[in-house]
């Protein structure tokens, strides 16, 4: 899972603790990375990220699902479970 974020993004800061908690909870099952869209705009463009926060889930190097916007921790956990189960 890659968290596309920016330092100035309030909603990004709101979900950061949930993203961190999921990284800890799913350690060994889920790899979590963060990408600053201001530092790497070409990567954000490559994956069609137009709004942040954006969480993109990858399997085998390919994007398989995404969440756009700040979501509750429960919604993030449900999405991770669905992605890992597929």
Residue 9 falls in the annotated catalytic set: yes
**How far is the C-alpha of 43 from the C-alpha of 35, rounded, in Å?**
9
Residue 60 falls in the annotated catalytic set: no
Tokens 């993004």 belong to 9
Kindly name the residue from 1, 12, 56, 76 that is annotated as catalytic. Answer: 12
Q: Are strands 54-59 and 62-68 parallel, antiparallel or unpaired?
A: antiparallel
Whether the Cβ atoms of residue 58 and residue 47 lie closer than 8 Å to each other: no
Whether the Cβ atoms of residue 13 and residue 64 lie closer than 8 Å to each other: no
Kindly name the residue from 1, 9, 35, 44 that is annotated as catalytic. Answer: 9
Q: Could you list the active site residues?
A: 9, 12
């Amino acid at each position: 899972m890659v968290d596309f974020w920016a330092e100035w993004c309030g909603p990004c800061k709101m979900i950061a603790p949930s993203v961190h908690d999921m990284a800890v909870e799913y350690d060994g099952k889920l790899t979590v990375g963060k990408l600053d869209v201001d530092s790497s705009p070409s990567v954000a463009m490559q994956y069609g990220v137009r709004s942040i926060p954006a969480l993109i889930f990858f399997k085998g190097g390919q994007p398989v699902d995404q969440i756009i916007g700040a979501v509750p921790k429960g919604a993030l956990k449900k999405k991770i479970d669905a992605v890992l189960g597929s």
